[in-house]
Amino acid sequence: MNKRAKQNEPLVTHIYTADPSAHVFEDKIYIYPSHDLEHDGVSDDEGNQYTMEDYHVFSMDDIDAPVVDHGQVLHVDDVPWASEKMWAPDAAYKNGTYYFYFPAKDKDGIFRIGVATSKSPAGPFTPEPNYIPGTFSIDPAVFVDDDGSAYMYIGGIWGGQLEKWQTGEFVATTGLQDPSKEAISVYVAKMNEDMLSLAEPLKESKILDKNDRPLLAGDEDRRFFEAPWVFKNNGTYYFTYSTGSSHYIAYATSDSPMGPYTYRGRILEPVIGWTTHHSIVKFKGKWYLFYHDSSLSGGIDHRRSIKFTEIKFNKDGTIQTIFPYK
């Protein structure tokens, strides 16, 4: 029997997992992570050390229950348009169907967002033959609002290629952002009712400082890097994300799911390993942060393990910062 889950300890130890997207479906917690493969290949700023090619789904009957591996639910070989790099996914439920969203590089080496469907939250998932038209970059996150409207958030700079889309077309030769310019931020679009397509083109949603000025690219402690995740608490939309090079999980808030969002602070201090990627879910009246680190592998960046811990809100709606090893 699998051992019971404990906060701040690896939830899965028989394979390496990262980028956990947690959801409550059918009164259980389902976790949709990426799957780190063991290798000794190159490591660089383009993320070539992350050679993932498939996905597993995990579930927990309760927050301290054993973690169940439902097995492989999708492989790159199942996806006609994809060539490699099945990175951080997400899932959503609507219309009696479970939707699984994932990034991958197409045959031209350009990241796109795909979608697969199932009648079970545990999969397996059947992919659509083509990627979602109008999508690009990585880290899809889909938020379904109280009125049933769904929104897709995407983005990741450097290896995630987001800065290469500033003209509306992919420009492979685009360099890094000018630190003195406005930071490239997350892109968002409302989805169609079918959950398989966008109702409008993706557009940038800025993160602002307390004086309503967009954050600058050189503000690495606060600017968006990757890993968007949106949730709603007490009528406020929380946009949470990774700052990448400074290794924080930060958050901003808005009264609209489309933003703009105002920076509020940090949720998680740096973890062992270069990347940090997360999700936040409410289960049985408490809020939990799912995240990953490389502690199980002894700090090897592309051998990560998913974990979770409770998060707490202050009376004013701010989130208490978590120090993962204290």
Categorise residue 227: left if φ over 0, alpha if ψ from -120 to 50, beta otherwise.
Answer: left
The single-letter code of the amino acid at 269 is E
Q: Which of 38, 226, 269, 301 is catalytic?
A: 226
Q: Taking the chain, what is the end-to-end CA distance rounded to the nearest angstrom?
A: 30
CA distance 202 to 111: 15
Q: In what order do the strands lie in the sheet with 207-208?
A: 207-208, 261-268, 249-254, 236-242, 226-233
Q: Which of 124, 29, 4, 41 is nearest to 301 (CA)?
A: 41
Nearest to 256, CA basis, from 169, 157, 158, 145: 145
Kindly report the backbone phi and psi dihedral angles of residue 322, in degrees, each rounded to the nearest multiple of 5, phi listed first.
-100, 130
Task: Report d(CA 121, CA 124) in Å as an integer.
Answer: 8
204 is catalytic: no
Q: Is 163 a catalytic residue?
A: no
Amino acid identity, position 216: L
Residue 10 main-chain phi, psi, to 5 deg: -55, 130
How far is Cα 300 from Cα 200, in angstroms, rounded to an integer?
Answer: 40
Q: Which of 19, 90, 139, 293 is catalytic?
A: 19
> What positions carry a catalytic annotation?
19, 226
